[in-house]
Every structure is written in C-alpha cells, then in structure tokens.
Amino acid sequence: MYAQWLLEKLNLAQDIFCNVWELTNPPELLLNSNESITVILQVQNRTELENIPTILATRNHFKIIVWWTGSQMCEEDVIKAINNGAVAVVCEKQDWQEILQAIRDVQMNNFHYNLIITEALYLYCKRNRILNTHISSPANALGNREKKIIELKRSGKTSREIGEILFLSKKTIDKLFGDMYRKFDCNNFFELLNLYEEKRSQDLI
C-alpha cells in the first residue's frame, strides 16, 4: 500500500526521475539502464541492507535511497545502510515533502542529511564515547533561552507561566523541555536540573 502511494506521488512529480525498487521484483528498466538513476530501495530488515553493496557492485550508476518499511530502525541499521552505500535514509512514516526533499538532495548533492541520520550518528558517537564531555554538557550546549526556562522551572513556575514570561506558548515550552530530555538522556526535569547544576558548579570553580 505504501509503495503504491509513493509510486503515485512520484508519477505526479514531473521534475524528478526516481523509482521504487523491491528486491524481490526489480523493474526491467532499472536493470538495463546505464544512466544515473535514483532508486528508492524498500528495506524491511537488517539482512536486506546487506544487498546494497551487491547492487552497487554491478550498477554503480545507482543512487540508492533506503526506504525503511520494517519495524523500529536503530542507529546500527542507519549506519550500516550508509556504510553499505546508501545516500539517504527515509522511513514510511515520513511525509511526501520530506521524501521529495531527500530525492532532490540526492540528485543535486549526492547525499541527504536528515534527523534519522543525525540522531543515529549522535547515539553511535555517544555510546562509543567519541564525543568530548564538554560537547554534551548542559551548560555549554544549551542556549540562553533553554537555560532561562530551566531557571524558571526550578523557581516553581509552570510551563504556562514560563510561556507567559517568555512570550511563548505552553506547547512550545513543553516541546523545549522534551527536546532537552532527549538530548541529554534525562527522564524528567529533576535529572536535567542535576546535570545543569553539576556543570554550572564546575564552571564556577
């Protein structure tokens, strides 16, 4: 169903040339063409990622966009896709405009960076301790607005009250907190505040 939806969208986009390719049923056009072709390759599991080098070995004119249609894609899968030759990684939950941008980036710049790749690289570097400590420390990484809302929250203000002070909506304040929790692997405000205070104390020494 998703493949059919994507194909219909591609047929309507007259300024791009791209095709959706299933490993089990490769289109004859793609097999015989010698021109540079952008291919959206449907991948459902890690094992299928191993097919990418084989495809590129005989068809190096292909620019392969991995379209992940399986379950949750972990950072190892994203990195494996790139290492195996993929020039972009998208998932079926992304909307049409995001997929279209990926196709255009690949055709113009030969690669497409997005949140999927950025988060995978960040988690990989963090897990393998590649990142320097000061890069991921709250005091150095947080902007003035983020520091301000932490201070206001610590003083007992609610998200709505913080939003009124900073002329932002409650929804925006909640999103900022959510972004910080994910960025620093915190489960709640108490953990975020502890990290923030710890680094702030170190800076004052």
Q: Which CATH number does the domain housing residue 10 bear?
A: 3.40.50.2300
Please name which of 128, 122, 90, 123 lies closest in space to residue 2, comparing C-alpha atoms. Answer: 90
Residue 91 has pLDDT above 80, yes or no: yes
Share the mean pLDDT of the chain. 79
Do 185 and 147 share a structural domain?
yes
The per-residue pLDDT for 2 is 62
Return the minimum-mean-pLDDT range out of 9-13, 70-74, 172-176.
9-13
Q: Give me the number of domains the chain comprises.
A: 2
β-pairing verdict for 37-43 and 62-68: parallel
CATH of the domain at 197: 1.10.10.10
Do 153 and 101 share a structural domain?
no
Do 137 and 78 share a structural domain?
no
The per-residue pLDDT for 202 is 59
The per-residue pLDDT for 16 is 65
CB 176 within 8 A of CB 148: no
CB 88 within 8 A of CB 77: no
The per-residue pLDDT for 25 is 58
Q: Which pLDDT band, with edges at 50, 70 and 90, does 165 fall under?
A: very high
Do 51 and 146 share a structural domain?
no
Residue 34 has pLDDT above 60, yes or no: no
Q: Which pLDDT band, with edges at 50, 70 and 90, does 23 fall under?
A: low
Q: Which pLDDT band, with edges at 50, 70 and 90, does 86 fall under?
A: very high
Do 26 and 118 share a structural domain?
yes
The predicted model scores a pTM of 0.57
pLDDT, mean of residues 29-56: 77
Query: Domain residues for 187?
Result: 133-204
Q: Please state, in angstroms and as integers, the Cα–Cα distance from residue 158 to each residue in 37, 93, 172, 176, 177, following that order.
A: 53, 33, 13, 13, 12
Do 191 and 177 share a structural domain?
yes
Q: What share of the chain in percent tops pLDDT 70?
A: 79
- Three-state DSSP class for 26? coil
Do 34 and 54 share a structural domain?
yes
Do 14 and 115 share a structural domain?
yes
Do 72 and 22 share a structural domain?
yes
Please name which of 5, 24, 20 lies closest in space to residue 103, comparing C-alpha atoms. Answer: 20
Q: Which pLDDT band, with edges at 50, 70 and 90, does 9 fall under?
A: confident
Residue 135 has pLDDT above 60, yes or no: no
